[in-house]
Chain A
Amino acid sequence: MSVLTVNLKLLYQRRGLWLGYLMFAFYVWVSLKVALDDPRAGAGTFIGLILLVFLVGMAAAVQQMEILTKPMAFCLPQHRRTVARFILTVGIAANAAGATLFLFYPGLPPTWRLLVLGSAFAAGLVFYLAGAWWGFFARQPMALVGFSIAVFFFGQRLGLHVRLERIVVLHPLAVMAAGVLAAVAMWLYLTRADLARRNCLRPWIGFAEVFDRDKLRRSPQYRSAAPWTRLKDHPRPWVENLFIDRIAGSQPLSTMRCAWGAVYSSFAMVLSQWTNVLVLVVVMTIFLGYLGGHLMVILLGSLPIVAGAMSLSHGALYSSLLTSGGRRERFFATLAAVVVGAVLVTAFMGLVAALSVPLASVLPDFTVYGQRLTYHVISARVFYGSWVLLPIAAMIHLVLYRRPALLMIVLIAFAYPVVLAAELLSHDLRPLVNAPAAATLAALCWLVFILVLSRIAHRRPLVR
């Protein structure tokens, strides 16, 4: 068996990838259906597969990076040469399959169709290599997968898919030249002599490692311990003083002391990076304001889930620190952490909404690729969602603490209906989203969360 073959086998040996393949197959099916059900030239319906190979490129690169970053791989004799061959082999196979969709593109003369096939292959290669580039360079490349759907939505609203398809069909030679250039550039990068050295022992989070708490915990520690960083990955002194004073000021062995400790350990880093949070507020305000209508609701509705996923609830409950807190103290400490988390998320969203009011009078309308974009004030009604969704997300975290992969699946399974409901039924739902209804629902969710938390804190094993 050749070294390349044994690396290609990794693509099916890994059970975890099959879930990804399943989701990918769904998107492929959607892309084929959109293109073949109503084949129209210039409508942008044929470009789906070309965009999807971005994810294939990322997955292929992540696969190789997971090996490159391990010290055991540094001395594997032929591995360094295999990386480039692996990436290009997968790329050629994936894009050859993807480009065949353009065989069904309507209204092309035979010779031109051949050129378009080459062009589609090359365009796919560019996207594929962009995905691979992201996989090699980003510290946690899989984080992009979550955003990719939003990016595809946004691109679609701007009509980028139509424009891209036109470029592929009308300028095949230029696209092929771009494909060749991208392939050569990637080949030169992947065959450079110091590729293994640059990546070996690099603090990097791979595909399944997003479920590996130890690795995730070690990664920022590793970076902050590394002398080449500026030690930004630890709480700022003012945050430390603020919390330590509160902790020291409460009664020894009291529940309040445990609660302050839990809030400190959960949010010290968030508060320490408040300038980054403010930048995020500004970026999101502009982004969501221009998105306007229903998508804004979806994304804002997703925020509390993201916040819930920040492991804010279980840190205090499943603490490995042997503190003086018993089960009762851990219960209140966890509750305090989750409530503070909900307050912070609401404050974040409040800032976004408040900032959108003055921005609405300042930010101009503009046209991108024929789409008129108008800035909208962000409605405060979407904030109700946080107080409903956060306890649910926190509860999922608590219950599935030891099954991180399942936890992610359940969170996604929970988020998708919410997002789809907001997307498809936003006009019908809007009248229902009022203060009394939201307050009742939120109270119910919090009650259930408290009951579950109490059950786990008092009756279940709390081994980390």
Chain B
Amino acid sequence: MSDETIMVKIRGLSKRFGRTQALDGVDLDIECGRIIGLLGANGAGKSTLLRHIIGLYLPDGGWCTTLGCDASRLGPAELARIGYVHQEGELIDWMTAAQLIRYVSVYYPNWNKELEQRLVGEYEISLKARVGSLSPGQRQRLAILIAICFEPELLILDEPAAALDPLARAQFLDLLLQLIQDQKRTIVISSHILSDVEKVIDHAVIMKAGRIVADASFDELREKYSRVRLTSLAGPLPEPLDFANVLECRRNQSEATLIVRDLPPDLIEAAAARIHCQADVQPLPLEDIYKVVVQ
């Protein structure tokens, strides 16, 4: 991986808040053009990591470079290439939506007015309404709009869809899918709604207690973990089942469901044939991959 293609490079990043170790020796490379899902429980360190990437937090140890620049020294030139949506969607409440959009747009010479107008229509943002009077979902849509209308190269979304209703979430995902058509755009999205995230990400970073416990392409993860449904073709299933790398097993006399790691489909089918079973191998959804990884 050449350094030119890396948007964010993190090495040994540590951050402590009082007694809480928020980040503990995090190493991460974010390549250009990737859509990265940053996953983890509350307090896993996702937001802290994202805030280091934009230079909002300074590390206690290690370092982070964003767009080739030390994250703590990002200047206007670099900031103009970064879009950031904060999880609480806190905006300037006393402005009307139109005033806020106009205010933010002045900062960006490449503001895409066409995209702005389209999103205002699609998100049904009431331009005359005061930002403070908008519902949490509408506010979050507005926050997303002002973070993407200047078409940033690096888009950082910290729990962007948490406050959105299902319809708005679907629109938001459609928008993300449109945004990722641009090969040069990199998106880092942290979210708890894994079923949504898996539709758009191509790389997953899973965090637990301030550490990265998985950093792989989504395809790799889906190949690595699979769910196997075994159905006995003759009599009860043997005890125990002769399968390697089993992470979880639920069974009765004639059927079993296994979650296995690093076991290719041909080996699974061979093992199933040995015990006179039919094997149905399916990739794990992201939610189950996440559970397996963090447990």
Q: List 24 A-B contacts (CB under 8 A).
A: A2-B106, A3-B107, A15-B94, A67-B92, A70-B91, A70-B92, A71-B56, A71-B84, A71-B86, A71-B90, A72-B84, A72-B86, A72-B90, A74-B56, A76-B104, A77-B77, A77-B79, A77-B80, A197-B55, A197-B56, A209-B93, A227-B18, A227-B19, A227-B20
B104 cross-chain contacts in A, Cβ below 8 A: 72, 76
B95 cross-chain contacts in A, Cβ below 8 A: 13-14
A226 cross-chain contacts in B, Cβ below 8 A: 17
Q: Mark B76-98, 1 if CB is under 8 A from A, else 0.
A: 11011011101010111111000
A209 cross-chain contacts in B, Cβ below 8 A: 93
Query: Is B99 an interface position by the 8 A CB rule?
Result: yes
**What are the 7 A-B residue pairs with the smallest beta carbon separation, nearest first?**
A227-B18, A71-B86, A77-B76, A77-B80, A6-B106, A227-B17, A77-B79
Interface pair B103/A6, CB less than 8 Å apart: yes
Distance (whole angstroms) from the CB of A210 to the closest CB of chain B: 12
Most chain B beta-carbon contacts within 10 A, residue among A16, A74, A208, A228? A74
Residues of chain B at the chain A interface (Cβ within 8 Å): 17-20, 54-58, 72-73, 76-77, 79-80, 82-84, 86, 88, 90-95, 99, 102-104, 106-108, 132, 143, 146-147
A72 cross-chain contacts in B, Cβ below 8 A: 84, 86, 90-92, 104, 143, 146-147
B54 cross-chain contacts in A, Cβ below 8 A: 74-75
Interface pair A197/B58, CB less than 8 Å apart: yes
Distance (whole angstroms) from the CB of B81 to the closest CB of chain A: 9
Q: Tell me the bound Cα distance from A409 to B2 in angstroms.
A: 63
Considering the complex, which residues of chain A in the window 200-237 have a beta carbon less than 8 Å from any beta carbon of chain B? Answer: 200-201, 208-209, 212, 226-228
Residues of chain A at the chain B interface (Cβ within 8 Å): 1-3, 6, 10, 13-16, 66-67, 70-72, 74-81, 193, 197, 200-201, 208-209, 212, 226-228
Closest to A197 in B: B56
Interface pair A75/B76, CB less than 8 Å apart: no
Distance (whole angstroms) from the CB of B35 to the closest CB of chain A: 19
Complex partner residue of B94 from A16, A75, A193, CB under 8 angstroms: A16
Interface pair A75/B84, CB less than 8 Å apart: yes
Interface pair B73/A193, CB less than 8 Å apart: yes
A78 cross-chain contacts in B, Cβ below 8 A: 76, 107
B80 cross-chain contacts in A, Cβ below 8 A: 77
Closest to A82 in B: B107
B72 cross-chain contacts in A, Cβ below 8 A: 197
Interface pair B82/A75, CB less than 8 Å apart: yes
Interface pair A208/B93, CB less than 8 Å apart: yes
Q: Tell me the bound Cα distance from A72 to B105 in angstroms.
A: 12
Interface pair B17/A228, CB less than 8 Å apart: yes
Q: Tell me the bound Cα distance from A10 to B18 in angstroms.
A: 38
Interface pair A66/B73, CB less than 8 Å apart: no
B20 cross-chain contacts in A, Cβ below 8 A: 227
Q: Tell me the bound Cα distance from A79 to B80 in angstroms.
A: 11
B107 cross-chain contacts in A, Cβ below 8 A: 3, 76-79
Contacts A75-B84, A77-B107, A227-B18 given; indicate if A70 touches B56 (C-beta within 8 A): no
A10 cross-chain contacts in B, Cβ below 8 A: 103
Closest to A71 in B: B86
A-B contact count (CB 8 A): 76
Complex partner residue of A74 from B84, B92, B132, B143, CB under 8 angstroms: B84
Closest to A15 in B: B94
Contacts A72-B91, A78-B76, A193-B73 given; indicate if A6 touches B102 (C-beta within 8 A): yes
B147 cross-chain contacts in A, Cβ below 8 A: 72
A6 cross-chain contacts in B, Cβ below 8 A: 102-103, 106
Q: Tell me the bound Cα distance from A318 to B93 in angstroms.
A: 24
Interface pair A228/B56, CB less than 8 Å apart: no
Complex partner residue of B56 from A77, A79, A200, CB under 8 angstroms: A200
Distance (whole angstroms) from the CB of B128 to the closest CB of chain A: 13
Q: Tell me the bound Cα distance from A269 to B189 in angstroms.
A: 40
B93 cross-chain contacts in A, Cβ below 8 A: 208-209, 212
Contacts A193-B73, A208-B94 given; indicate if A13 touches B99 (C-beta within 8 A): yes
A70 cross-chain contacts in B, Cβ below 8 A: 90-92
Q: Tell me the bound Cα distance from A196 to B115 in angstroms.
A: 28
Distance (whole angstroms) from the CB of A353 to the closest CB of chain B: 43
Complex partner residue of A75 from B18, B83, B90, CB under 8 angstroms: B83
B83 cross-chain contacts in A, Cβ below 8 A: 75
A66 cross-chain contacts in B, Cβ below 8 A: 92, 94
Q: Tell me the bound Cα distance from A106 to B44 in angstroms.
A: 70
Given contacts A6-B102, A15-B94, A227-B19, 16 further A-B contacts (CB under 8 A): A13-B99, A67-B92, A71-B90, A72-B90, A74-B56, A74-B84, A75-B54, A75-B83, A76-B107, A77-B80, A78-B76, A193-B73, A208-B93, A226-B17, A227-B17, A228-B18
B76 cross-chain contacts in A, Cβ below 8 A: 77-78, 80-81
B82 cross-chain contacts in A, Cβ below 8 A: 75
A3 cross-chain contacts in B, Cβ below 8 A: 106-107
Q: Tell me the bound Cα distance from A10 to B88 in angstroms.
A: 23
A212 cross-chain contacts in B, Cβ below 8 A: 93, 132
A1 cross-chain contacts in B, Cβ below 8 A: 106
Distance (whole angstroms) from the CB of B22 to the closest CB of chain A: 9
Most chain B beta-carbon contacts within 10 A, residue among A13, A14, A15, A77? A77
Q: Tell me the bound Cα distance from A228 to B20 in angstroms.
A: 10
Q: Tell me the bound Cα distance from A13 to B94 in angstroms.
A: 9
Distance (whole angstroms) from the CB of A79 to the closest CB of chain B: 7
Q: Tell me the bound Cα distance from A79 to B104 in angstroms.
A: 10
A74 cross-chain contacts in B, Cβ below 8 A: 54, 56, 84
Interface pair A75/B79, CB less than 8 Å apart: yes
A228 cross-chain contacts in B, Cβ below 8 A: 17-18
A80 cross-chain contacts in B, Cβ below 8 A: 76
Closest to B158 in A: A71
Q: Tell me the bound Cα distance from A66 to B83 in angstroms.
A: 20
Closest to A17 in B: B94
Distance (whole angstroms) from the CB of B133 to the closest CB of chain A: 12
Closest to B154 in A: A75
A76 cross-chain contacts in B, Cβ below 8 A: 79, 104, 107
Closest to A67 in B: B92
B86 cross-chain contacts in A, Cβ below 8 A: 71-72
Q: Tell me the bound Cα distance from A66 to B91 in angstroms.
A: 9
A227 cross-chain contacts in B, Cβ below 8 A: 17-20
Q: Tell me the bound Cα distance from A201 to B88 in angstroms.
A: 11
Q: Tell me the bound Cα distance from A67 to B106 in angstroms.
A: 15
Q: Tell me the bound Cα distance from A329 to B102 in angstroms.
A: 50
Q: Tell me the bound Cα distance from A15 to B132 in angstroms.
A: 14
Distance (whole angstroms) from the CB of B47 to the closest CB of chain A: 10
Q: Tell me the bound Cα distance from A14 to B84 in angstroms.
A: 25
Q: Tell me the bound Cα distance from A264 to B93 in angstroms.
A: 33
Distance (whole angstroms) from the CB of B52 to the closest CB of chain A: 11
A81 cross-chain contacts in B, Cβ below 8 A: 76
Q: Tell me the bound Cα distance from A226 to B19 in angstroms.
A: 11
